[in-house]
Every structure is written in structure tokens, then in C-alpha cells.
Amino acid sequence: MWQGINQKFYLHFDKTNEAELKAMLLDLLKKGIDGSSAVSTSIQQTEKDDDGGVTFKKEIGSTFTLKKELAYSDFLKKAQSLTNIPIQLLHEVFCEFFKANPLPDKFFSKQTLHRLVEGYRDWYIKTFSERYSYEKIETPVNDPLCDEKHAVKEYVIRNDIGVLNCKETPLENYLYDSCAYDSELERINITHQIKSDIASVEVYGKIPRRTVRIPTYADGTYSPDFMYVINRNSGKKQLNLIVETKDKDKDHIDPEERRKFTAAKKLFEKLQAEIPNVYYCPQISKQDMTNIIESVVKNEDINEDLYII
């Protein structure tokens, strides 16, 4: 399983035509992206009481807006750098829109640029949530677990496994001989026995940092935490399970984390063509690994509602 998942992948995006980008930009301009910052001034005074005490009086001064204006050429270059939208297209859209609409004073400012980039990112996240795929890159990768002959190394760097340590002894089927972890939920996974009537764990371990890097379409790269080789008590083929541990309640899983879960699920579904019976599942606070393993054995997903559909 390890050789199968420790590979490099790149993201392939469906093409976006200029008409689609132009429509998005015109829509942003219609909604309004003219930006400014509010600045308030205040004056604080002290007064002396008859008994010698000091009291503070705060008097609010004036409030005004501030725009950090940019040269038009600088605005276009920065917008292109932050969005990858061609400068020529940006210029054409601004010319078309402001032919029919008044140009606000100091429109091309840092504040407007910020709102343009934010609007583009919101559009990008919604538009490309289903318009990307994964392709494998045939290139050598760094392998912190195995040597050139694919034999398991005698040592790994402790901090690549976890920055925290505990005195508890890991279980016999744990990949390493000490307990290094990054959260309390990870510590529990490492030290607590899986007790199930339908499955058992042959071997499991934390995935070293910076090895399995999953590129996501909107949020950089992402690395899962655990790998499990699971035996089904029914005698059917082994399961290979990859787990991302988030020691948070479901209500505190933010949209970025949900997008990462969804991207990982998509990648491992693709990997099933190469690695039979490989599955991915996130684990959140208070979830026992026994329940997660049993749900995968039953071909269910205990955390299906964590993905973005």
C-alpha cells in the first residue's frame, strides 16, 4: 500500500474560456468592488477631580475613508499575478464597463484590488469544485519509510511523526516503537486497541510529514495522518485505509477543511484502479477508530456529510 500512495500527483483543470471569465468580472463590477478603508480619530482627555482623582474622558473625533490608490498598470499587473486572469482581458472588461458606468474616484486602489481578488476566489471555489481531476507524475519521490530496495528503514525522524511524546507503549502492530503524535485524538489512535467482531488491524502507523501530499484545487497541499492495513474476519481481501485526524467537533470543521477532505476522497477513489480496496476517511473528535474501520468494512462512510457535494 505504501508504495502505491507515496506518489506525486498534479491537478488537471477543465479549461475556462474568456467568455466565462468576462462574465464573472462584469458581474463583480455590477455588484460593486470599489473599496476603501474607514479611519476614525479620537481624542482622549484627563480631568482631575476635587479629591485629587483622575478620570478619563474619551471624545471621538472624525471618521473618514482612505484609499491607497495604485497606478492603473500596477493594478492590472497585481490583479493578473493574484488571479491569473490575462491583463488584456482585465483591461477590456474595465473599458467596457466604465463606458456605460461612471468611474468612481480613485477606483484603482489596494482596497478595490483586495475585493476583486476575494470575488474571484469565491467564484473559483464554486466553479471548479467539480472541474478538476488527478493525474500521476512518473517521477522518483522521497521515501522516509523504505530504502531503495523497498525494505523498511530502521529509523525515521521522530518529529516527522509527531511533535508530542507520551510514555505509553504503542501496540505491537504499530509501525514504530514509540508514541509520537500531534493531537490527543492521534495519541488515542496509537495506544488503544481496535476491538471489532468483523475486522482486525494487521499493521498501522502515522504517515511521516511532507510525504503523501495531496494537491487541492483551492487550498494548497494536504497530508493525511494514518494508514491502516485491515483484515476482514469474513476472509475477504484486505482493506487499505488512509485516515485524516481532526480533533474538532463536526460543527467546527470549516469550509477549507471540508474541501480538503473532498479532494482526498476524490484522489483515493482514482487510486483504487491501482491499489485494490484502498479507502479514505476523515476522523473527527470523539470518533473511535473501531467505528470508522467497521463502517469501511461495511462499505459505508461514517463521515459522508463532511464532504462538499
For the chain, the structural domain boundaries read 11-37+67-127, 142-306
C-alpha span between 172 and 109 (Å, rounded): 61
pLDDT mean values, one per 10 residues, the chain (309 residues): 70 90 96 71 61 60 70 97 96 96 93 95 92 83 71 81 90 92 94 93 90 85 91 88 93 93 91 85 94 93 87
pTM here is 0.78
C-alpha span between 70 and 115 (Å, rounded): 14
Look up residue 217 and give its three cell numbers. 484545487
